[in-house]
Amino acid sequence: MAKGSLVSGSIWDEYSNVVVDRMNNPQHQGHITEEEAEAMNAKLIVADFGAESCGDAVRLYWAVENATDKIVGSKFKSFGCGTAIASSDIMTELCMGKTVDEAVTITNIDVEKAMRDNPDTPAVPPQKMHCSVMAYDVIKKAAATHKGVDMDSFETEHIICECARVTQDTLIDVIKINDLKTIEEVIDFTKAGGFCKSCIESGGHEAKDIYLVDILKDVREEMQRERLHEAALTTTDKKPDFASMGLVQKIRAVDAVVEEYVRPMLVMDGGDMEVIDIKEESEYYNIYIKYLGACSTCSTGSTGTLYAIESTLKQNLDDNIRVMPI
Amino acid sequence: MEVYLDNNATTKVDEKVFDEMKPFFCEVYGNPNSLHSFGSNTHKKMLEAIEYLYEGINADDEDDIVITANATESNNWVIKSTWIDHILGGDKKHIVTSEVEHPAITAACNFLEKQGVKVTYLNVNEEGVLDASAVEKAIKDDTALVSIMWANNETGKLFPIKEIGAICKEKDVPFHSDATQAIGKVEVDVQDVNVDMISFSAHKFHGPKGVGGLYIRKGVKLSPYMNGGEQMDGRRAGTVDVASMIGMGKAIHLATNTMALAYEINHVGMLRDKLERAILKLPDTIVIGGTQNRTPNTTLISIKGVEGESMLWDLNQNGIAASTGSACASEDLEANPVMNAFGSDSELAHTGIRFSLSRFNTEEQIDYAIEQITKAVERLRSISSSYAYTPKNHTSEL
């Protein structure tokens, strides 16, 4: 990308011929009147989406045939850039002849694909994918109006990236399965956030409820919690996996062994000990302890007693444990 | 017909400027700092260029006009060396600027904010300018610099530079003005205005790209931004682009002499007004920021129901170049700060079209542009949802 991005290109150079043609000569711009709809034995549906103050707005007119629920007339009016006008035109065309239920399955990706000159080259530059989303939204609005239901009822999944239509569930799965750590990886793997970039983080072209950065952070936190939870579960087993424990867990495990096997013996002789620290040194776990009471002056503290403590901890926790009195 | 109405973005190099530059590529190519005739043969024309530059802004012989790569370099130099000299190396902590400056000022100030410098970005009013009194209120004891543009690139609006200069003088705060959009369009006289530094770029007044300047009044402290050789009296290191400097000298001479400025105001202004009046005859159109106190060549017009990029598209299909602040036309979908200053949610942010003329535009071109603009507005409004048919039982949600 470096060499290619030093001299900025025109976004217009990346428009397909279909986009150019539909911008210059939209085939379906116009309106349908109630009388015209009636003459077709159809009901007129009018749906508005967006606003001039947001930069794009579209009005869709459908004549829906009373007997068949088929869209027998489809026209649009659009305020927006070339891509918005071209995608509205193609969207309107895709609606023609379909039933309302069929039309509602048309997505902005279908619209973008229909605008391609050849199947492998995108019809618009990435940041312009956003403009085709409105064409998709207005269909849902029209269908909702026709059925007298709420627009959101057509959306069963939570879409995070509208340009690439990536759902929240997909994002969560892909981040987990591939152990993704950065936003760049998320964009590479899912394509979400690779177009108008609004969904990456706040401050973009459009405000969102939740952004990719939030999802990544939440999933990473959840993954971390799951790992800790697994580690915590293993400590309740007979043979805990000392190596995979966190430091706090290690200290607790050592304390537990000390409490159960070591301390009762020391206390009988009027002594005691406490764990001061655990440090990893190559493959070894150095457990620093401090003798208390009688132990602190006992001569076997550095020989027999020490050997007994170390052996007990090795048996119960890990062969690589070394005990260091300080 | 091709009509270039985007002269606030850049201008065509005047043929006379190009002619002056030509010998300094293949014939007179010596390094001006060398001790031989190849080098010293450049001096005569370089000195002439300096004369033209000093004349162009009425600088005093004791002042400096340092040749830079462009106004962006000049602006960065002022902001960052102010930081080094007066904030890191002094007891100041604060800079005052406006919210509609060129990114070379805004981004440099954003950078300083990350280093802990306090920056006040003054708002503009509904006419797109700020009141000098707002600058007065913003200046504090620890203010190191005031930087306010001379004329705005989008609206052409002229800022109250003279009043701001007087305030800065009274408060003893250095005053810098980015005059990039003013030179060659209105009189820029550093004797008339108490300004300590001004930035400019040659390519905005029919000079070449890649060369600009920074005027620094005598006695103003400003450490070098570029370290290296002793060029420009030690103020800016790097071998001077001789051809470009000579081109800039010629260009400022051609753009700022009395006749040229009169032509700009009278002729270019007349063509701009003709274009503007014709567009305003179309219903639902307004001049953003109003028509008072502007550079003579610029008009920023909102055309209801017509999105900026669409308008540029239709105009471009017919050979006309203009500009829009609409977010849709930018690489990153960000509306430009001037449009945002008028309210980012406002329709104006998406329907503004800027036409910026130059002395090379002809009346014939403007007549053609009017015809094409009218056609484009008719076509795009015929598609626009803003003018769509609304059936009786439908409540518009647009």
pLDDT digits (tens, 9 = 90+) for B173-197: 999 999 999 999 999 999 999 999 9
| Domain membership flag for residue A142 | yes
Residue ranges of E strands in chain A: 42-51, 56-65, 71-79, 159-161, 166-167, 271-281, 284-293, 321-325
| CATH code of the domain made up of B15-256 | 3.40.640.10
pLDDT at A104 over 70: yes
Instruction: State how far the Cα of B376 lies from the Cα of A23, in Å rounded to an integer.
Output: 12
Instruction: Return the pLDDT at B130.
Output: 92
Instruction: State how far the Cα of A70 lies from the Cα of A98, in Å rounded to an integer.
Output: 5
Residue A80: which CATH number?
3.90.1010.10
User: Is residue A98 packed enough to be buried (19+ CB in 10 Å), middle (13-18) or exposed (0-12)?
Assistant: middle
pLDDT at A53 over 80: no
Q: Which of A79, A128, A132, A195 to mutate to test the interface with B (most CBs of B within 10 A)?
A: A79
A33 contacts B391? CB cut-off 8 A:
yes
Instruction: State how far the Cα of A180 lies from the Cα of A170, in Å rounded to an integer.
Output: 13
| Domain membership flag for residue A1 | no
Q: Which residue has the higher pLDDT, B43 or A190?
A: B43
A46 contacts B398? CB cut-off 8 A:
no
Instruction: State how far the Cα of A193 lies from the Cα of A190, in Å rounded to an integer.
Output: 8
Instruction: Return the pLDDT at A145.
Output: 93
Instruction: Return the pLDDT at B10.
Output: 96
A150 and A13 inside one domain = yes
Instruction: Return the pLDDT at B28.
Output: 97
A136 and A176 inside one domain = no
Work out the number of other CB atoms within 10 angstroms of the CB of residue A5: 8
Summarize pLDDT for B270-293 with one digit per residue, the tens. 999 999 999 999 999 999 989 999
Contacts of B317 in chain A (CB under 8 A): 24
Instruction: Return the pLDDT at A236.
Output: 53
| Domain membership flag for residue A76 | yes
Provide the domain limits for residue A47: 8-154
- Among the candidates A154, A175, A195, a domain finishes at A154
Domain boundaries, chain B: 15-256, 268-387
Nearest to A55 among B307, B316, B386 (CB): B307
Instruction: Return the pLDDT at B181.
Output: 97
B384 contacts A55? CB cut-off 8 A:
no
Q: Please give the helix or strand (H or E) that residue B302 lies within, else none.
A: strand B298-303
Q: Which of A5, A8, A77 to mutate to test the interface with B (most CBs of B within 10 A)?
A: A77
User: Is residue A183 packed enough to be buried (19+ CB in 10 Å), middle (13-18) or exposed (0-12)?
Assistant: middle
A180 and A135 inside one domain = no
Instruction: Return the pLDDT at B160.
Output: 97
Summarize pLDDT for A227-271 with one digit per residue, the tens. 888 777 665 555 568 888 888 888 888 998 888 888 888 888 888
Confidence grade of residue A176 (pLDDT, cut at 50, 70, 90): confident
pLDDT at B329 over 70: no
| Domain membership flag for residue A2 | no
Confidence grade of residue A157 (pLDDT, cut at 50, 70, 90): confident
| Domain membership flag for residue A115 | yes
| Domain membership flag for residue A12 | yes
B351 contacts A81? CB cut-off 8 A:
no
User: For B23, phi and psi rounded to 5 degrees?
Assistant: -65, -20
pLDDT at B214 over 90: yes
The single-letter DSSP state of residue B255 is H
Confidence grade of residue A218 (pLDDT, cut at 50, 70, 90): very high
Closest chain A residue to B311 measured between Cα atoms?
A81
What is the mean predicted confidence (pLDDT) over B45-52? 98
Check if A161 is active-site: no
- Among the candidates A154, A176, A203, a domain finishes at A154
Instruction: State how far the Cα of A257 lies from the Cα of B58, in Å rounded to an integer.
Output: 89
Summarize pLDDT for B123-176 with one digit per residue, the tens. 998 889 999 999 999 999 999 999 999 999 999 999 999 999 999 999 999 999
Mean pLDDT highest for which of A164-178, B39-53, B121-135?
B39-53
| Percent of chain A with pLDDT strictly greater than 90 | 37
A79 contacts B384? CB cut-off 8 A:
yes
The Cα-based distances of B231 to A79, A253, B237 in angstroms read 54, 72, 5
A23 and A147 inside one domain = yes
Instruction: Return the pLDDT at A264.
Output: 84
How far B280 CA lies from chain A's nearest CA (Å)? 20
Work out the number of other CB atoms within 10 angstroms of the CB of residue B277: 11
Instruction: Return the pLDDT at B343.
Output: 59
pLDDT at B260 over 70: yes
3-class DSSP assignment, residue A65: strand
Q: Which of B315, B333, B353, B387 to mutate to test the interface with A (most CBs of A within 10 A)?
A: B333
Instruction: Return the pLDDT at A131.
Output: 75
A50 contacts B383? CB cut-off 8 A:
no
Instruction: State how far the Cα of B116 lies from the Cα of B83, in Å rounded to an integer.
Output: 10
Instruction: Return the pLDDT at B310.
Output: 95
- Among the candidates A214, A236, A258, a domain finishes at A236
Confidence grade of residue B332 (pLDDT, cut at 50, 70, 90): low
Chain A residues in contact with chain B using a Cβ-Cβ cutoff of 8 Å = 8, 11-12, 23-24, 26, 29, 31, 33-34, 44, 46, 48-59, 77-82, 84-85, 127, 130-131, 196-198, 204-205
The fold of the B268-387 domain, in CATH, is Aspartate Aminotransferase, domain 1 (3.90.1150)
Instruction: Return the pLDDT at A238.
Output: 57
| Domain membership flag for residue A83 | yes
Instruction: State how far the Cα of B318 lies from the Cα of B320, in Å rounded to an integer.
Output: 6
B327 contacts A55? CB cut-off 8 A:
yes
* Amino acid residing at A8: S
Confidence grade of residue B335 (pLDDT, cut at 50, 70, 90): low
pLDDT at A45 over 80: yes
Contacts of A77 in chain B (CB under 8 A): 383-385, 387-389
CB pairs under 8 A between A and B: 106
Instruction: Return the pLDDT at B327.
Output: 60
Q: Which residue has the higher pLDDT, B190 or A13?
A: B190
Domain count along chain A: 3
Q: Which residues of B are annotated as catalytic?
A: 328
Confidence grade of residue B334 (pLDDT, cut at 50, 70, 90): low
Confidence grade of residue A1 (pLDDT, cut at 50, 70, 90): low
Q: Which residue has the higher pLDDT, A277 or B16?
A: B16
